[in-house]
Structure 1
Amino acid sequence: MRVMTLRRRIALLTVIGVLCAGTIAVVAGVLGGATGTGSAGVADSTAGSAATGSPADGSAVVAFYGDSYTRGTGASSRAARWSTIVCAERGWTEVNPSTNGLGFVNNRANLPGPDLVDQVIKAQPDIVISTMGLNDNFVMPGRADDVRAAIDTDFTELKKALPHTRFIIVEPFWYTDERPESVERIIGWVRDAAVAIDADYIPGASHWMDGHPEWKAADNLHPNDVGYREIAVRMDAELAKLGL
Structure 2
Amino acid sequence: MPTVDPALAAEARAADPDAPLVAFYGDSYTLGTGASDPALRWSTTICADRGWTEFNPSVNGLGFVNNRASTPPDYLDSDEIPQIIARDPDIVFVTMGLNDNFSMPERADAIQNAIATDFTTLVAALPDARIIVVEPFWYTDDRPPSVQTVIDWVDREAAAIGADRVPDASQWLRGHPEWMAADGLHPDDQGYAEMARRMDAALRELGL
User: TM-score by structure 1 length?
Assistant: 0.77
Structure 2: which 5+ residue stretches go unaligned? Answer: 1-10
Q: 1:112 and 1:80 mapped to 2: Cα distance?
A: 30
Q: 2:158 and 2:104 mapped to 1: Cα distance?
A: 21
Q: Which residue of 1 aligns with 2:166?
A: 202
Match of 2:134 among 162, 165, 170: 170
The size of the alignment, in residue pairs, is: 194
Can you list the C-alpha shifts for 1:142-162, whole angstroms capped at 9, x where unaligned?
000000000000000010000
Q: Which residue of 1 aligns with 2:58?
A: 98
Secondary structure class of the residue paired with 2:123: helix
Amino acid at match of 1:160: A
Contact 1:70 1:83 in 2 (8 A): yes
Match of 1:217 among 168, 181, 189: 181
Cα distance, 1:78 vs structure 2: 1.2
Amino acid at match of 2:134: V
Can you list the C-alpha shifts for 1:124-177, whole angstroms capped at 9, x where unaligned?
100001100000001000000000000000000010000000000000000000
| Residue 87 of structure 2 corresponds to residue 123 of structure 1 | yes
Q: Taking structure 1 as reference, are residues 52 and 71 closer, same or farther at Cα in structure 2, changes over 3 Å only?
A: farther
Q: Taking structure 1 as reference, are residues 112 and 199 closer, same or farther at Cα in structure 2, changes over 3 Å only?
A: closer
Secondary structure class of the residue paired with 2:69: helix
Q: Which residue of 2 aligns with 1:114?
A: 78
Deviating beyond 2 angstroms after TM superposition, the runs of 4 or more aligned structure 1 residues are 51-57, 109-113
Q: 2:44 and 2:196 mapped to 1: Cα distance?
A: 9
Contact 2:25 2:58 in 1 (8 A): yes
Contact 1:105 1:147 in 2 (8 A): yes
Contact 1:54 1:93 in 2 (8 A): no
Q: Which residue of 1 aligns with 2:47?
A: 87
Q: Which residue of 2 aligns with 1:61?
A: 21
Amino acid at match of 2:129: T
User: TM-score by structure 2 length?
Assistant: 0.90
Contact 2:63 2:98 in 1 (8 A): yes
Secondary structure class of the residue paired with 1:102: coil
Q: Which residue of 2 aligns with 1:159?
A: 123
Amino acid at match of 1:68: S
| Residue 108 of structure 2 corresponds to residue 148 of structure 1 | no
Cα distance, 1:193 vs structure 2: 0.5
Alignment root-mean-square deviation, CA: 1.7
Amino acid at match of 1:164: D
